[in-house]
Chains A and B, each alone.
Chain A
Amino acid sequence: MSIDLKTIKHISKLSRISVDEQKAEKLAGDLNSIFDFIEKLNELKTDNVEPLTSVAETTLKLRSDEVKSKNIREQIIKNSPQENEDYFVVPKVIE
């Protein structure tokens, strides 16, 4: 299997990470060597194996939906790269 530049561009779109030509070529090389290594899993027959999604064999507990942290709006907004009073600011979305 080989990951080509077109695939890299596609993954970069899905990941929301911009990639220029030079970086795409480097990534293609790296990913191909990593996937060569991963291909080893195909040696195993796993048709009748249950997938393991979590090692913690517990059922999720429910809790009441209560607000625990209060009056932290200002601190939270302060971490934003761009804010306007009580709002996060992003580049214009609607023309």
Chain B
Amino acid sequence: MSDITKQSLTELVENIKNKKLSSTDVTKAFIERSEKSKELNAYITEDFTSALDKAKKFDQKPNLDLKLPGIPMAVKDLFCTKDVKTTAGSKILNNFIPTYESTVTDNIWKEGAILLGKLNCDEFAMGSSNETSFFGNVQNPIDKDLVPGGSSGGSASAVAGQLTPITIGTDTGGSIRQPASFTGTVGLKPTYGSCSRYGIVAFASSLDQAGPMAQNVKDCALLQEVISNYDPKDSTSIDFKRNQYSKELTNNIKGKKIGIPKEYRVDGMPKEIEDLWQKGIQYVKDCGAETIDISLPHTSYALPTYYIVAPAEASSNLARYDGVKYGFRAKGENLIDMYEKTRSKGFGTEVQRRIMIGTYVLSSGYYDAYYLKAQKVRKLIKNDFDEAYKKVDAILTPSTPSSAFRIGEKTNDPVSMYLNDIFTVPVNLAGLPGISIPAGHDSKGYPLGLQIIGKAFDEQNILNIAFAMEEKINFKNKITDWWIK
């Protein structure tokens, strides 16, 4: 089969279970395509030799009862993988070999999947374009010199470019949903506490969540089913009854009430985005759902709140990178000088900027004015959602205020880069699940996404809505393989 890499995860699983394909066939196909796709720069670390060994071993004694039997998969380089280098896209971790496995990746391997390699991302997941990675920017398979979004840019590029059948990313302020939207793929940020944070390089601990990035909603539901579990090793992991998301998936959303928040109609939003949103509203109505106008009055305060809370937590989480126990070390005249030079040379510009912001808002005399204030506004933002969910079952918005932009276009203006996450950040602040699905193209032919936000722990509901909409939208990603010579 020459078109292995074009198959969805669900198809590949079926074909392996029916013995039409072996794990070796599938693994080989994705390795070959990945090797022809170096120009995308989606990988930081390739683990192909070992992947092929594992596939052969799987085929000798295949366990076909597993959910991901012999499926090769590359993952974002923010997940610690035992004995495989994990960099978080940073020079400061560029030779770090974890002695343990993250819970989320462990869950994936236990279901039979095989690690292909580690995917590029913004440094410590801080960025919206994958341009802050120490290992260079990533190309969007949609068009040359177009960013894939970020921070899970390598993951989005690898799924859209069919270098991996599916992948996982992490989402602190939009890092799964925005790149999914920019590459015409599906990305789910689960409820905070749904997927374990154990073994994920920490950025902002009260916001970070891992989640699936896929070619379609069903694949996404299957991977969510695999990665979500209660984990005592993560103190904020929540013990709730998880669904069999892919098995319970239905396109019957008749009678569902879907909120349309007026505050997401922001100044300067391109007409194409507004039109897409209106189309989305029509689609859910066509599926038998009802739309209701709602208000989330504190929406415009979400980004300023995020840019206090996230850097504050980051400045504390990143204090551990001191050049002593692991990672890069610069020479210094004494201990303090070594710390300061290590962190100055080991961290990139954006990471240093955020550590500085975080340190400042937590520093003596400014804590109440900034950090405490932001925590209070965060409460108001969560209250907005709580209020809305008294009337609706889910909320429909655009995923991003624009389609993908060009490499270098926003690197000199941090605030304009931050504005990319205007529709995704409120969801993280409130700890809710959100999914981005491809819903159309702009005039340049670039994909645009719609976001469905759910109640906490209601992943099944937003997956169902996404599944029903997906059928109506019938989106086709325009991938020309321009990077394959």
A contact set with B: CB distance below 8 Å:
3, 7-8, 10-12, 14-19, 27, 30-31, 33-34, 37-44, 46, 49-56, 58, 60-61, 63, 69, 72, 75-76, 78-82, 88, 90-93
Report A35 CB to chain B, min CB distance, Å.
8
Chain A residues near B332: list those with CB within 8 A: 91
A54 to B238 Cα, complex, angstroms? 12
Q: List 18 A-B contacts (CB under 8 A).
A: A15-B343, A15-B352, A18-B337, A18-B341, A27-B356, A33-B414, A34-B357, A34-B418, A37-B304, A38-B304, A41-B308, A41-B377, A46-B380, A52-B379, A54-B236, A58-B238, A78-B97, A81-B327
A28 to B99 Cα, complex, angstroms? 39
Stretch from B42-50, B149-157, B286-294, B317-325 forming part of the interface with A: B317-325
Chain A: interface secondary structure?
loop
Asked if B64 is at the interface of the complex by the 8 Å CB criterion, the answer is no
Given contacts A11-B363, A19-B344, A34-B414, contact A56 B431 (CB under 8 A): yes
Report A81 CB to chain B, min CB distance, Å.
4
Residue among B332, B415, B429 with max Cβ neighbours from chain A (10 Å): B415
Chain B residues near A8: list those with CB within 8 A: 356
Partner of B329, one of A40, A43, A69, A81: A81
- Is A80 a contact partner of B324 (Cβ separation < 8 A)? yes
- Is A90 a contact partner of B356 (Cβ separation < 8 A)? no
Chain A residues near B328: list those with CB within 8 A: 81
- Is A17 a contact partner of B352 (Cβ separation < 8 A)? yes
Q: Beta-carbon contacts of B351-386 to A below 8 Å, as 1s and 0s?
A: 011011101100100000010111111111010000
Chain A residues near B319: list those with CB within 8 A: 16
Chain B: interface secondary structure?
helix
Chain B residues near A92: list those with CB within 8 A: 334-335
Report B440 CB to chain A, min CB distance, Å.
30
Asked if B482 is at the interface of the complex by the 8 Å CB criterion, the answer is no
- Is B378 a contact partner of A16 (Cβ separation < 8 A)? no
Give residues of chain B (409-457) contacting chain A, Cβ–Cβ below 8 Å.
414-415, 418, 429-431, 456
- Is B338 a contact partner of A41 (Cβ separation < 8 A)? no
- Is B415 a contact partner of A34 (Cβ separation < 8 A)? yes
B contact set with A: CB distance below 8 Å:
95-97, 99-100, 192-193, 206, 232, 235-236, 238-239, 298, 300-301, 303-305, 307-308, 315, 319, 322-329, 332-341, 343-344, 347, 352-353, 355-357, 359-360, 363, 370, 372-380, 382, 414-415, 418, 429-431, 456
Closest 5 CB pairs of A and B: A55-B431, A51-B375, A81-B329, A79-B326, A18-B340
Report A77 CB to chain B, min CB distance, Å.
9
Cβ-closest chain B residue relative to A53: B375
A18 to B315 Cα, complex, angstroms? 15
- Is A16 a contact partner of B329 (Cβ separation < 8 A)? no
Report B319 CB to chain A, min CB distance, Å.
8
A92 to B206 Cα, complex, angstroms? 37
A49 to B381 Cα, complex, angstroms? 11
Report B459 CB to chain A, min CB distance, Å.
15
Partner of B376, one of A17, A50, A81: A50
Cβ-closest chain B residue relative to A63: B232
Cβ-closest chain A residue relative to B82: A75
Partner of B308, one of A7, A38, A58, A63: A38
Cβ-closest chain A residue relative to B338: A91
A88 to B326 Cα, complex, angstroms? 9
A80 to B239 Cα, complex, angstroms? 36
A53 to B370 Cα, complex, angstroms? 14
Report A11 CB to chain B, min CB distance, Å.
5
Chain A residues near B335: list those with CB within 8 A: 90-93
- Is A72 a contact partner of B353 (Cβ separation < 8 A)? no
Chain A residues near B339: list those with CB within 8 A: 16
A38 to B374 Cα, complex, angstroms? 9
- Is A17 a contact partner of B347 (Cβ separation < 8 A)? yes
Residue among A14, A19, A55 with max Cβ neighbours from chain B (10 Å): A55
Partner of B382, one of A10, A38, A55: A55
A7 to B363 Cα, complex, angstroms? 11
- Is B325 a contact partner of A80 (Cβ separation < 8 A)? yes
A58 to B379 Cα, complex, angstroms? 16
Chain B residues near A34: list those with CB within 8 A: 307, 353, 357, 414-415, 418
